[in-house]
Amino acid sequence: SAVATWGLALVLLAALAPALALHLAPAALAGAAVALAAGAAQARRASDGPHTPAAGGPLQVREAALVALLLTVLALVAGWAREAWGQAGLLATVVLAAAADTHSGIAAVGAMVHGGTLAVEPAATAVLAAIATNSVTRSAVAWASGGRGYGLRVGAGLLASLAAALAVAGLRAQM
């Protein structure tokens, strides 16, 4: 799922703020590559037991409507927080929202870059902070729902993916 997180973040940003997508692409690709490698390594170790397909179809209308509502509310709150408290307010809003859904915060940041109210550098920081927050949340959920071993496996993959992305972003910032 970390591969999908990085990929969807790039797709959202490419649509909303192409300059931000280009800026974050090397870091996102590094994060996705490490997540893919971690997932492949875990899949090789996993048992080949029977798999039960998820209930319901691929289109979940209720969930899609809730995400749309969350996107709208977050965009409004993020804009208000940026007006009231500047970059720190925006970052705090995006990080808090990312505990539940990374992509709504990323979309709000992309919309602000598109609208000219947020520069690429602080926007990139907000996107990476959102993904970091969501990685911690997903690790905690994995631990709580699947136990220590599962939580450690999931957390290690997410942490490695995030570390790779942050390392590339840091190197890029020094150039």
Residue (of 35, 37, 25) closest to 168 by Cα position: 25
Summarised one tens digit per residue, pLDDT across range 118-153 is 999 999 999 999 999 999 988 988 888 888 998 899
At position 37, the amino acid (one-letter code) is A
Buried b (16+ CB within 10 A) or exposed e, 23-42: bbbebbbbbbbbbeebbeee
- Which two tokens mark 98? 């990312």
How would residue 65 be classed by pLDDT, with cut points 50, 70 and 90? Answer: confident
Distance CA 157, CA 149 (A): 13
At position 144, the amino acid (one-letter code) is A
In this structure, the number of other CB atoms found within 10 A of the CB of residue 48 comes to 5
How would residue 81 be classed by pLDDT, with cut points 50, 70 and 90? Answer: confident
Q: Are 135 and 98 in contact (CB under 8 A)?
A: no
